[in-house]
Amino acid sequence: MTSQTTLLADDASCPASRSLWQLGWQRLRRDRIGLTALWVVLAFVLLALAGWLGLAGSHWRDEVAKPNMPPALFKDYGPATVELTAADIDAAQQHNTSIADASAATGMSAEDDPLAADMAAAQTQAANAAPLAVTPANDSLLVLGSDSRGRDVLQKVIQGTATSLLVGLSGALLAILIGTLLGALSGYFGRRTDDLLMWFYSVFTSVPDMLLLLAFSAVMSRGIDTVIMVMALTSWTGTYRLMRAEFMKHKGREYVQAADAIGASHRSRMFRHILPNVTHLLLVQFSLLTVALIKYEAILSFLGFGVGISQTSWGAMLAEAPAELLQGYWWQMAAVTLFMSLLVTAFSMLTDSLRDALDPKVK
């Protein structure tokens, strides 16, 4: 009697068979490091979303404070700056106007000077514009300080996060799409298709990534969409290799033969039957690529071949760092380094955890 009830209870508690994704999620939830990394990455994605939607960091171009103001916490650690009083500025302006008197400078009378009328017009225009150009001196402290033009480093770094993540995520996504499509065709059909695509692959791998990136950016216009495209075109090769091997392995398996027997088309066998069985590899590949592309983007933007000047990114901010460091303004570089290492560390740890969690051999 009792044995039967326990048997029944066992039956009821016996869980339904779970998919790899459910198992993976369960394993990831038990992995404290992996879970923390996941939350950090999600927080960055949210921050980047806010940046794209203009909710945060959209005022990064505004000159809101004095140039080169140190961060609030370290306000005594910045280099000493000479405060200009209003009297100094007035004196400098007086000096300027006396020199700017064009006729006097050229030693010609106003009638002889062909540019006199233009100069006068320009001077009145400048006088009109001058009151607008003066920004109210803002003494309020900024959390991360300000850059050489008085822009808020916090706003800039948020906008930079948005740009860098956009480039990293969409570049990796595109690269995965190209790699998976070509890899699937190559591994599934084999023969001529495989030969052709392998040739294509060998062409792209025989030139180092960085050189290929530079060659592409030499002929294309600068801008964020170019950077994404260039990165996708140069980094699909790893995914291709992986997917080609997987599709070769899977196409002979029984479940694919069964799909063939019930009349599934090639496309359906490739993308409805095989693809879901290899997606977990793609997820790991995707996060690996994202990290790599974020690093590449920083270097490209630093060298001036990345995002345009109307946008900012971590690389573009780092490009300002050498000149600032020389004057002792270290906080812009520190802010970028902090944000970037946090994201990259979290992403790398998440990748490791994902790889373990989604490994079908582990129970």
Partner 1 sequence: MLAYILRRLWQMVPTLFGVMLLLFILFNWVGGDPSYILAGKSFSAETLANIRHQLGLDKSLPEQFLIFVQQVLTLDFGTSWSTQQPVADILGSRIGPSLTLALPMLLVSLLLSVIIAAIVAYVRGSLTDRLVTLICTLAMSVSALVYIIAGQYWLAHKLGWFPILGWSDSLATNLWLYVPLPLLLGLVVSLAPDIRFYRSCFVEEMNHDYVRTARAKGLSEQVIMLKHVMRNALIPVVTSLMMSLPYLFLGALLLERFFGIPGMGNEVLNAVDRSDFPVIKAITIYVALATMLFNLLADIVYKLIDPRVQLK
* Contacting positions for partner 1 (CB under 8 A): 199-200, 202-208, 210-212, 214-220, 295, 298-299, 302-305, 314-315, 318, 321-322, 325-326, 333, 336-337, 340-342, 344-345, 348-349
Q: Give the number of other CB atoms < 10 A from CB of residue 70.
A: 21
Residues in a beta bridge with 146 = 152
Strand ranges, E, within 212-326: none
State the minimum distance, in angstroms, from the CB of residue 211 to partner 1. 6
Give Dmax over CA atoms of the chain in angstroms: 121
- Closest CB to partner 1 among residues 65, 212: 212
Please identify, using beta-carbon distances, which residue of 138 and 337 lies nearer to partner 1. 337
Which tokens hold the place of 126?
A: 């400048």
The least CB distance from residue 197 to partner 1, in Å, is: 12
User: Which residue(s) pair with 152 in the sheet?
Assistant: 146
Q: Is 260 or 356 the residue whose CB approaches partner 1 more closely? A: 356
CA dist 312 and 309 (Å) reads 7
| CB of residue 220 to partner 1, shortest distance in Å | 7
Q: Are 274 and 251 in contact (CB under 8 A)?
A: yes
Minimal distance, residue 252 CB to partner 1, in Å = 21
| 20 versus 344: smaller Cβ distance to partner 1 | 344
Nearest of 211, 165, 169 to residue 311 by alpha carbon = 165
Shortest reach from residue 311's CB to partner 1, in Å: 18
DSSP 56-73: SSTTTTSB-S-TTPPPGG
Task: Please identify, using beta-carbon distances, which residue of 154 and 346 lies nearer to partner 1.
Answer: 346
Q: At its nearest, how many Å lie between partner 1 and the CB of residue 228? A: 16
Closer residue to partner 1 in complex, CB, 127/210: 210
Is 164 within 8 Å of 297 (Cβ atoms)?
yes
The answer to whether the beta carbons of residues 60 and 317 sit under 8 Å apart is no
Residue 150 neighbours by CB under 8 Å, 6+ apart: 63, 64, 65, 66, 67, 69, 135
